[in-house]
Structure 1
Amino acid sequence: MDEALRAILLIGLAAAVLTTGALTLNWWMEPERRLRRAMLKSLGVAADAEAVSPAEGKAAGLGFESGQIAVLWGRGANGLVYDFHEIEGGEIIVDGHVVARIRRGEPRKSLDVMAPEAELVTLRLMFADARYPEFELSLWNANVPTQTGSPAEALRLGRRWLSHLEALLK
């Protein structure tokens, strides 16, 4: 009887340890958390401004201390790091229409349209790189079932990114 009880307790303990390990691994590999770790590794410091799209597996971050911008894709497995002088500009695209833009050497096209019913809000970053001249990141996608936030929040984040880019380009 004692051996049967001991075996049941050992099996229960092993099951608890395995369950805890699986839950910890699931938490650690969560897409948003994984992208933030990759961003930290890419920039070497915590990003001062970041935009993350876990559903796409993409992220972008500005490190003012390091003077760099990092763009990641493939759930953080791939990415590029650019110096600030390599940034050419950025755009906010709502449902296929450019609603705001900042480019080096051009006047800013301000965001004067708020689209509370937008299906897709995208931030496009442009770089002085022949191989990877632009990077698009969905800030809001109504077709993603796990999407949190709203189109208005996505537009505010995009406008903040354009303000950072404008300050860097001056």
Structure 2
Amino acid sequence: MDEIARLLTLLALAGGAISLLGAAVVWFMEEGRRIRRTLTEALGAPPQPLLIARGRGAGIGFDLAQSKVCIAWDRGAWRLDYGLDELLGVELIVDRQVAARAFRGEPRRALDQLAQPQERVRLRFIFDDPNHPDFELDLWRPEDVGRRGRLEPDEALAEANRWMARMESVLRRPITPRAVAPASVQAPAPSPVRAAAAAPIAAPAGPLFDDLDDEPIEDDPEDVIN
């Protein structure tokens, strides 16, 4: 009996540990936490403000102190970093129509219809980037009805309207020009000077009449004058 009781106790403890570990993994890998970690890593600080589209695995975060923007999708697996000056504007799309918009250097078009949406509530962020010019966040879709943690249609519309006002304030900020390091102009390196080849030293010329000094001169008998 003691062996059976000990075995049952071990099984219960193992089951509790596995359940606790599984709950910790689910908590750590939760969609919102993954996106928040990705944005925090990109910005170097917790994003403020932060917007996460529940159920879409996407979000956007700002660091206004450092003029940074970061977008993340695929539950935080992918991200793109921008400067705040690259954010050109934001559009609020309700049921396939642009209901409000705010662009840099333009007057804001405020939301003037508060009818309950039927298809979607979407925020579209537009960037000065030819490869990735926009980023869309759906705050509400019809399939969100009745799901835990999702916004109701009127709540999504109110949240989108608050973000339009927030983005208008951000877009009114003066653009801080980026510091560009001046191009360094380097003087061309002097070409190596080749040393002039030394002129060959000629051997000193020997005496012209060395042979005359060495051999005795004999008198020719015909040259003798009697």
What TM-score, normalized by structure 1, do the two folds share? Answer: 0.91
Q: Could you report, residue by residue, the CA deviation over 1:108-155 in whole angstroms, capped at 9, with x for unpaired residues?
A: 111111122433100000000111000000011122352622222222
Structure 1 gaps of 5+ residues are none
Distance in 1 separating the partners of 2:23 and 2:170: 42
In structure 2, the partner of 1:166 is 168
Q: Could you report, residue by residue, the CA deviation over 1:65-89 in whole angstroms, capped at 9, with x for unpaired residues?
A: 2321111111111011211101010
**Structural mapping, 1:1-170, within 5 Å:** 1-145=1-145, 146=147, 148-170=150-172
- Residue range with higher mean Cα deviation, 97-106 or 154-163: 154-163
Displacement after TM superposition at 1:164 (Å): 2.5
8 Å Cα contact 1:115-1:151 kept in structure 2: no
Higher percent of residues as strand: 1
- Higher Cα radius of gyration: 2
Distance in 1 separating the partners of 2:33 and 2:128: 29
Displacement after TM superposition at 1:12 (Å): 1.2
Structure 2 gaps of 5+ residues are 173-226
Q: Could you report, residue by residue, the CA deviation over 1:35-86 in whole angstroms, capped at 9, with x for unpaired residues?
A: 2222222222222222211311111122222321111111111011211101
Structure 1 residues 33 and 13, CA gap change in structure 2 (3 angstroms): same
The number of residue pairs the alignment matches comes to: 170
Q: Give the share of equivalent positions with the same residue, in percent.
A: 36
8 Å Cα contact 1:51-1:139 kept in structure 2: no
Structure 1 residues 48 and 144, CA gap change in structure 2 (3 angstroms): same
8 Å Cα contact 1:59-1:73 kept in structure 2: yes
What TM-score, normalized by structure 2, do the two folds share? Answer: 0.70
Higher percent of residues as helix: 1
Displacement after TM superposition at 1:2 (Å): 1.9
The alignment's C-alpha RMSD in Å is 1.6
Distance in 1 separating the partners of 2:159 and 2:144: 18
